[in-house]
Structures are given as structure tokens and as C-alpha cells.
Amino acid sequence: MSEIAVLAGGCFWCLEAAYDELAGVASVKSGYAGGGTTNPTYKQVCAGTTGHAEVVRVEYDPAVITFPDLLDVFFTIHDPTTLNRQGGDVGTQYRSAIFYTSPAQQAAAEAAVEKFTPHWGRIVTEIAPLTIFYPAEAEHEDYFVNNPWSGYCQAVIAPKIAKLRKGFRERLKAPS
């Protein structure tokens, strides 16, 4: 039986590309969560007026990869110490957040912050219950796969994928 994780760590294109590579991950969907606007659009979220963060909804098999494993990747591939910012992406829509779906996920998120604090120092990752997930528009799906040579993909996403592949080699899907 699969479970769901909803994570925000800057641009959703980065997180989607990383989680798509992990064994046990069945699907990754870019979207929006944590705000007040119903059915927000990318343009609205980017304007910073909705309260939503760019997130990914990760469907995974906990028998293959656990929620704490997903959080290990999360705290490795983004900077959880910068409030409302990841690199050049600035605004509340780029905040670091874990939107939990159960008390067990909440406890795991709190434990992960404690685990990674010695490495990072002050972590500003928001831990909040998931109220609703809104899927992003279709053009955001598989963005890195479909646009590998774009400047953003080369400068921002590719280094995160390289870091993932180096640090989590044993967790990657087998080559197809």
C-alpha cells in the first residue's frame, strides 16, 4: 500500500526531478499547498499572494523507501536554513516545508529537523498539516526531463541531481 509525502523546498521542478529517481517512488506530482487560495495558478503562486508554497506530492512504497528516508533526501538537496528562499528563488512560495498527513509523519519530520540541526544549524523548515494539495499545470510535470538543457535546469536542478546520485546511490531506481 502506498503512502503520500508533500514537501516544499524551493522550486518544485528541483524536488520532482530528485524524487523521481528514487526506488520505491511511484509518482511525483508538482503542485501547491499551504495557502488560502482555492485552485491557484502558477502565476498567482509566483506572485506570492496566495500563501501557497510550490510542493511535490510523492507517492511511495514504505516497504521500499520510508518517510524518514525521503526526509534524508529532502534535507540534503535543499537549504533548510534560508527563510522563504532557495538560491535565486525568493518568496514565501519557495519556503522549506513538510506538510504531514499523519501524526507519524509529524513525529518523523520533527525528528529529522533534530537530526539535521547539527549539520545545518538553525533550520527554518515549516512543519504543518496538509489541508489540501492543488496539482500544478501540466507544463510543470517532468520539467527537468523535458527541458534538460534550459539554463535553469543546468544551473540549479542538475547540481542537485548530481548531489542526490552521489549521496544516495543505493536508493536510486535501477537503470531502465
The pLDDT of residue 111: 98
* Tens-digit pLDDT profile for residues 106-139: 999 999 999 999 999 999 999 999 999 999 999 9
Whether the full predicted model's pTM is greater than 0.85, yes or no, is: yes
Q: Which SS3 state, helix, strand or coil, does residue 2 take?
A: coil
Residues involved in catalysis: 11
What pLDDT is stored for residue 166 in this prediction?
96
Give the CATH H-level superfamily of domain 3-171: Peptide methionine sulphoxide reductase MsrA (3.30.1060.10)
Q: What are phi and psi of 145, to 5 degrees?
A: -60, -40
Please calculate the CA angle 37-135-64 and round it to the nearest 5 degrees: 130
| CA quadruple 155, 157, 163, 169: dihedral, nearest 10 | -140
* DSSP-H helix ranges across the chain: 12-19, 42-46, 67-77, 103-120, 143-146, 151-152, 158-167
Give the span between the Cα atoms of 134 and 173, in whole angstroms. Answer: 27
Rounded CA gap, 76 and 155, in Å? Answer: 17
**Taking the domains of the chain in order of start, what are their residue ranges?**
3-171
Grid cell digits, residue 143 = 520539467
Question: Has residue 23 got a pLDDT over 80?
Answer: yes
> pLDDT per residue over 135-151, tens digit each?
999 999 999 999 999 99
